[in-house]
């Protein structure tokens, strides 16, 4: 029933195949290519240019969440003494490690290397150190200083110097060398894919919007997992064509678009369709969000290490609350939104703490209502369906009154 309210994209199956192929390749068809676990904000271009195959435990967490299998993994981590208040991606990952091949999707393949970049949070540091102990695998920590006001030149130099270290680290542990030509090619794929993803998101300015939040969340997978590959570029070309067609033919993602909303924070994976269907029922479509656009960062031309340093240090989650508030405000205005919904995500403190202040400031400055929904991205045990439904209903009534 909920599926009906969700208009499936034609290329959905291609996406499934693409992601499945990625995991199959990681497990069976690497032909000796070293495998690295990396965080979503790691400078993967450098690794790919050194012929290292990256997999993303965060993506694995999201998959388990969407399949309703994350709670069991979280419980396995809690049984080892890890607090139930820690990030549910990380707990899923720890649970998966202890379950080995019995874990959902057969678990992630054992890493040869771990590369952790703290531009998304401090949790990844502790999580990757735990993985490093568990697998007895070398870990590289790329330290990207948080930007409270402006990106300083010495921060860029600090990060660029560490990227040089990273190259030496990979070389030492895999014997692979950095291929400068390949790096250029890979950066170009990255830029093509992110440009396409950015354009696809832009198409949602249309009324009705061709995509809704579940589309954005499902289709962001390649921009993270396969960022900087030819396959990602191919997929986003296809998606772009389909979305453009929807716009040209006036097809909306939801049956009757009455309200346009902006989403903040990571998805509630275990309720991806059901949650948004409460909005669809009331004619509300999410036309943009702060999260899936966060990965559409272009790498500038110039000395590659400095560009990578600049780009990866400036990731939106590595910037101040004011910056992220402004980002939300810009999205609301740019996409002509009528309101916004913030997911207060217990798992993600750096993304969520401060949302109350952002909400006040944004609704004051652009005079549209916002609401905060308390939940968690993977741990359904802290989710209260009834409370959430009541909140959504009350929020939609405010929108009705305003409209």
> By the criterion CB under 8 A, which residues form the site for other proteins?
71, 75, 78-83, 85-87, 118, 121-123, 125-127, 129-130, 133, 141-143, 145-146, 148, 152, 154-155, 157-158, 161-162, 165, 320-322, 344, 346, 349-350, 352-357, 361, 374, 380-387
119 or 191, CB closer to other proteins? 119
Cα(253)–Cα(200) distance, rounded to whole angstroms? Answer: 13
CB of 154 to other proteins, least distance (A): 4
CB 76 within 8 A of CB 218: no
CB of 392 to other proteins, least distance (A): 15
Interior angle at CA 351, CA 348 and CA 355, nearest 5 = 115
298 or 320, CB closer to other proteins? 320
142 or 337, CB closer to other proteins? 142
CB of 315 to other proteins, least distance (A): 14
86 or 399, CB closer to other proteins? 86
* Residue 114 region by backbone torsions, left for phi larger than 0, else alpha for psi between -120 and 50, else beta: beta
Which has the closest alpha carbon to 265: 326, 323, 224, 217? 217
235 or 270, CB closer to other proteins? 270
Cα(234)–Cα(185) distance, rounded to whole angstroms? Answer: 15
Instruction: Identify the bridge partners of residue 288 per DSSP, sorted by sequence position.
Output: 262
194 or 344, CB closer to other proteins? 344
CB of 258 to other proteins, least distance (A): 27
CB of 381 to other proteins, least distance (A): 4
CB of 149 to other proteins, least distance (A): 8
- Phi and psi dihedrals of 93, rounded to 5? -65, -45
Which has the closest alpha carbon to 285: 220, 363, 337, 221? 337
29 or 356, CB closer to other proteins? 356
CB of 155 to other proteins, least distance (A): 7
197: its two tokens: 């993803």
252 or 325, CB closer to other proteins? 325
CB of 336 to other proteins, least distance (A): 26
CB of 78 to other proteins, least distance (A): 5
CB of 4 to other proteins, least distance (A): 20
79 or 241, CB closer to other proteins? 79
Interior angle at CA 362, CA 400 and CA 403, nearest 5 = 15
Find the helix or strand (DSSP H, E) in which 293 lies: none
Q: Which residue in the block uniquely carries the two structure tokens 């939940």?
A: 375
Cα(288)–Cα(333) distance, rounded to whole angstroms? Answer: 11
Q: At what angle do helices 12-28 and 230-248 cross, to 10 degrees?
A: 170
Q: CA 351 → CA 3, 126, 171, 216, distances in Å?
A: 29, 17, 34, 18
- Phi and psi dihedrals of 279, rounded to 5? -80, -40
CB 131 within 8 A of CB 111: yes
111: its two tokens: 């890493």
- Phi and psi dihedrals of 306, rounded to 5? -70, -40
86 or 232, CB closer to other proteins? 86
């Amino acid at each position: 029933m909920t599926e009906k309210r969700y208009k499936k994209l034609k290329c959905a199956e291609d996406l499934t195949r693409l992601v499945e192929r990625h995991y199959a390749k990681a497990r069976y068809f690497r032909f000796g290519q070293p495998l690295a676990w990396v965080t979503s904000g790691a400078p993967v271009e450098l690794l790919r240019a050194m012929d290292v195959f990256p997999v993303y435990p965060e993506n694995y967490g999201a998959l388990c969440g969407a399949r309703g299998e994350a709670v069991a993994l979280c419980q396995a981590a809690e049984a080892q003494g890890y607090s139930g208040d820690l990030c549910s991606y990380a707990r899923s990952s720890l649970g998966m490690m202890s379950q080995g091949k019995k874990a959902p999707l057969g678990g992630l393949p054992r890493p040869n290397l771990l590369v952790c970049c703290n531009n998304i949070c401090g949790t990844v540091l502790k999580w990757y150190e735990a993985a490093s102990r568990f697998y007895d695998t070398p870990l590289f920590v790329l330290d990207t200083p948080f930007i409270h006001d402006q990106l300083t030149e010495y921060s860029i130099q600090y990060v660029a110097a560490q990227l040089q270290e990273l190259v030496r680290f990979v070389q030492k542990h895999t014997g692979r060398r950095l291929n400068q030509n390949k790096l250029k090619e890979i950066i170009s794929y990255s830029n093509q894919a992110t440009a396409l993803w950015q354009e696809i998101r832009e198409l949602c300015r249309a009324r009705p919007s061709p995509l809704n939040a579940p589309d954005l969340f499902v289709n962001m997978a390649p921009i993270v997992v396969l960022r900087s590959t030819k396959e990602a570029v191919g997929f986003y070309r296809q998606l772009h064509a389909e979305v453009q067609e929807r716009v040209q033919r006036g097809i909306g993602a939801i049956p009757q678009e009455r309200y346009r909303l902006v989403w903040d924070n990571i998805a509630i994976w275990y309720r991806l369709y059901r949650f948004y269907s409460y909005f669809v029922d009331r004619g509300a479509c999410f036309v943009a969000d702060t999260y899936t656009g966060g990965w559409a960062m272009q790498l500038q031309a110039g000395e590659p290490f400095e560009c990578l340093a600049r780009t990866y240090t400036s990731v939106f989650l590595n910037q101040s609350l004011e910056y992220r508030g402004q980002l939300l405000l810009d999205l609301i205005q740019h996409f002509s939104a009528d309101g916004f919904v913030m997911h207060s995500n217990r798992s993600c403190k750096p993304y969520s703490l401060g949302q109350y202040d952002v909400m006040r400031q944004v609704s004051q400055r652009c005079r549209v209502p916002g609401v905060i929904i308390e939940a968690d991205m993977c741990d359904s045990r802290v989710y209260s369906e009834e409370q959430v439904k009541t909140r959504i209903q009350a929020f939609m009534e405010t929108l009705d009154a305003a409209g």
